[in-house]
Amino acid sequence: MDSNSTEPVIHARQLSRTYPFGDSSVTGINQVDLDIAPGELVVLKGDSGSGKSTLLALLAGLDHPTAGELVVAGHHLSNSAGADLTRFRREVVGMVFQSFNLLPTLSVLENVCLPALLAEKPYDAVRGKALELLDWLGLKSRLAHFPAQLSGGEMQRTAIARALINDPALILADEPTGNLDSRNGRVVIDLLAELNRSSGRTVLIATHSNLADSLAHRCIRLRDGAITDPTCAG
C-alpha cells in the first residue's frame, strides 16, 4: 500500500482487547473505532495504563484482538495467524520501541540488516540499503559499534534504521523518546517527521511527550482503553 491509496492504512471497528485476571478481566482496549489514512503522522496520547501500548501491539500484530475488526495495510489481523502474521510483522510494519530492543551481540550494521535477512532478501541489496539509512541517520561512523558503545540517541536512530529496512507501509513508535534526554528526543521526533514528509510513509507515535504535537496531522487521546478526544485538547 502506498501513500496514493485511498484506503486507510489502519482501519479498526469496535476493536477490543481484554485480559483474564483471576475470576474477572482487565480491559486494554475498549471498542475503538479508528481510521488512519496513508501519509498521516498521528500522535497517540494518554496516561500510563490508558491503552496506548496495547493498541500499538494490536496494530503491529504482536497481540490479537478479543473482538472487533482490524485491517492494517490491507491485512485482516483479526483472523491472521502463523506464517502470514510473521510475514506481516517482519515486512509491513516497522516498530520503534522505548527500550530500543537492539541485539547486544550484533553490530549497528548487523542489527539493521537482520530483519531483511530474515525475510530472505539478498545480502548485497540489504547491506546497501542499510548503509544508506545509517548514513542518512548520521551513523556512518558507528557501523561496527555494538549497542553498549552507543549513546541513547544513537541506539534509537539505529532502531529507526532497522524499522525502515524492509520498507514498511507503517511505522509504529511506542514512547520513542522515553529513554532520551530532551535534545536527543527532539532529534528522534524530527527524524520521524522528516520520514513522514519525505516519503509519505504513515507514522503513529504513542507518547507522553508534547514534542511531536506541532508536527502531527492529528492527535488522538486514549483513556481507559477508549478514544476520548480526537484532538488531544488540553
Candidates 117, 19, 9, 125; CA nearest to 64 is 19
Whether 152 shows a pLDDT value over 80: the answer reads: yes
Query: Residue 83 — very low, low, confident or very high, per pLDDT cuts 50/70/90?
Result: confident
Cβ-contact 182, 217 below 8 angstroms: no
* More confident position, 200 or 83: 200
Model pLDDT, residue 80: 80
Whether 112 shows a pLDDT value over 50: the answer reads: yes
Question: 1-38: per-residue pLDDT in tens?
Answer: 444 567 899 999 999 999 989 888 999 999 999 999 99
Write down the pTM of the prediction.
0.90
CA 218/CA 8 separation, integer angstroms: 14
Question: Which DSSP helix (H) or strand (E) runs through 58?
Answer: helix 52-59
Model pLDDT, residue 234: 47
Mean pLDDT of the chain: 92
For the stretch 13-52, what's the b/e string if a residue is b when 16 or more beta carbons lie within 10 angstroms of its beta carbon? eebbbbeeeeeeeebbbbebebebbbbbbbbbbbeeebbb
For residue 211 the three cell numbers come to 514534542
Query: Residue 74 — very low, low, confident or very high, per pLDDT cuts 50/70/90?
Result: very high
* More confident position, 229 or 88: 88
Distances (CA, A) of 139 to 3, 13, 81, 95, 149: 28, 40, 36, 19, 13
Class of 39-62+81-229 in CATH: alpha beta
Whether 102 shows a pLDDT value over 80: the answer reads: yes
Question: 162-196: per-residue pLDDT in tens?
Answer: 999 999 999 999 999 999 999 999 999 999 999 99
Sketch the domain layout of the chain as residue ranges.
39-62+81-229
Model pLDDT, residue 91: 85
Question: Which DSSP helix (H) or strand (E) runs through 28?
Answer: strand 24-36
Query: Residue 110 — very low, low, confident or very high, per pLDDT cuts 50/70/90?
Result: very high
Cα–chain center distance at 137? 17
Cα–chain center distance at 95? 4
CA 53/CA 36 separation, integer angstroms: 17
Q: What is the mean pLDDT of residues 53-82?
A: 92
Whether 86 shows a pLDDT value over 90: the answer reads: no
Cβ-contact 184, 134 below 8 angstroms: no
Cβ-contact 174, 181 below 8 angstroms: no
Q: Are strands 10-21 and 67-72 parallel, antiparallel or unpaired?
A: antiparallel
Candidates 178, 138, 129; CA nearest to 158 is 138
Helix extents (H) in 64-151: 82-91, 108-118, 123-136
